[in-house]
Each structure stands twice: as C-alpha cells, then as structure tokens.
Amino acid sequence: MYTCDHCDKTYRYKKNLETHETVCKFMHLPLQQRNEVIDVADDPIPTMKELFHIIRQQSLRIDKLESNHKKLKMIQNRKMDILHWLQQGKDLPTMTFQEWIASLIARVPTYINIALKENLNVAMTQLFAASLENMEHLPICVFDNKPSQYYIFRTASWEQLTLHEFDHVLQKIAEQFYNVFVSGWYKENEAQLLKSETLYNQFIGYQQNVLATLNYGHLRQFIYSKIKRVIGTVTEIVIA
C-alpha cells in the first residue's frame, strides 16, 4: 500500500497516489500560499497556439532530462571497483611493493656519484627511471583521472597508498643516499679532510648535494608519468 505524506490516505497503486498527492499537497498549503497560486491561476487562458508551444517546450525538456538520465545510468552501470579490478588482473606483480622499495634501496650505491656531483633529486629520478623501465608488472600503479591516488601491491593484494605514505617511502630512500655517502666517501676521506682544504670543500659540496631538499611533488609527477594507466572517459573509477 502507498500512503499520502499529507493526509495518510492509502492507495493500492502508486499512480493513484501520485494523482491524489498533486491535489492534496495544494490543499495542505498555508492559506497565503494557496491564495498566491489561485491568483496566478486567474491569468488569461493561453490560446491553442500558445498552449501547443508550451507543451512542445515541456516535451523537449522532458526528452532532454530522460536522455541525461539514461547517460547517467549507463555510467553508473559501467562503474568499477578499481581495487577489485586490479586484484582480478591476469598479470599480478611478481614482487610486492615492499620488495621493490628494498631493491631500490639496494641500488643506491650505483647512483651515489650522481647524487654527489649533481644532487639528490637527479639521482632519485634516475634510480626510479631505470627501475621502472626494467620491470614488466609493477607493484605500483596510478590512473590518469586520479593522479594523486596510487595503488600498491602488498602481501598478495592491492591497496591504496596515501601521498603521505608515498612521501615517507621516498624519504626513506633519500636517507639511504646519505648513509651510503657517510659509509663510503666520508669514511675513506675522513682522516684527510682537515689536512686538505680542497678535499674539505669537496666534502661540503657533496654533503649539500646529497642532503638537498627532496622535491616530493616533482618526483611523484615523474613516477606518475612513467606508470599511469589510461581509463576511458566514460568509465568512472570507484575507490573501494
């Protein structure tokens, strides 16, 4: 049964309720509002030509609304749960995100000279570039319509990675560059630093380069450009 919200009268069929409510709603309006409606109702009755024009305009408006509704419904039907979609992928990564980061940290000594002679950001960029080019199934991905939302493969399943968590990972790799600098070049030349002004100045320059402020945004943008996946313009991603 369908019940009227205004008078509690019940109907077996919804269409009868809707017909009733158009009148009942008006009858339950405050007197002033009813008088305002009646005042408008006293306007001259439109001619047949005017009435035809009004009906045609309303018909076009309804057709447009129905068309938009169908389009929205199509989009709704094509929505997908991105985490589920990733998990159902045929080619899952062969290593977890944690293992991948560990492999990057292990390769820092290969790029330490770039960090010392250029700066930390250049070295980090080249480190990621080499790794991303040599991996077929990455344990990290991002989609072009949500460039700030990363997904990582961790312990046999995909999950979201916040920007704060991502920056923390980048900082961990950056710290390893300094550790390698201290345990390598600095240890080898420590005894001579105070004896050679040239060597001391070189130490200061290297230290400034390896401790350069990490440009998180630029590095994330570089990684995004290398790993982004393109989603069709119709399909909307729903984050689980």
Cα(200)–Cα(96) distance, integer angstroms: 42
The one-letter code for the residue type at 138 is L
Label residue 234 by pLDDT band (50, 70, 90): very low
pLDDT tens per residue, range 108-139: 999 999 999 999 999 999 999 999 998 888 99
For the stretch 38-87, pLDDT in tens is 665 566 666 777 777 778 788 888 888 988 888 777 655 555 678 888 88
Our measurement of the distance from residue 227's CA atom to the centroid of its chain's CA atoms, rounded to an integer in Å, reads 14
d(C-alpha 215, C-alpha 167), whole Å: 10
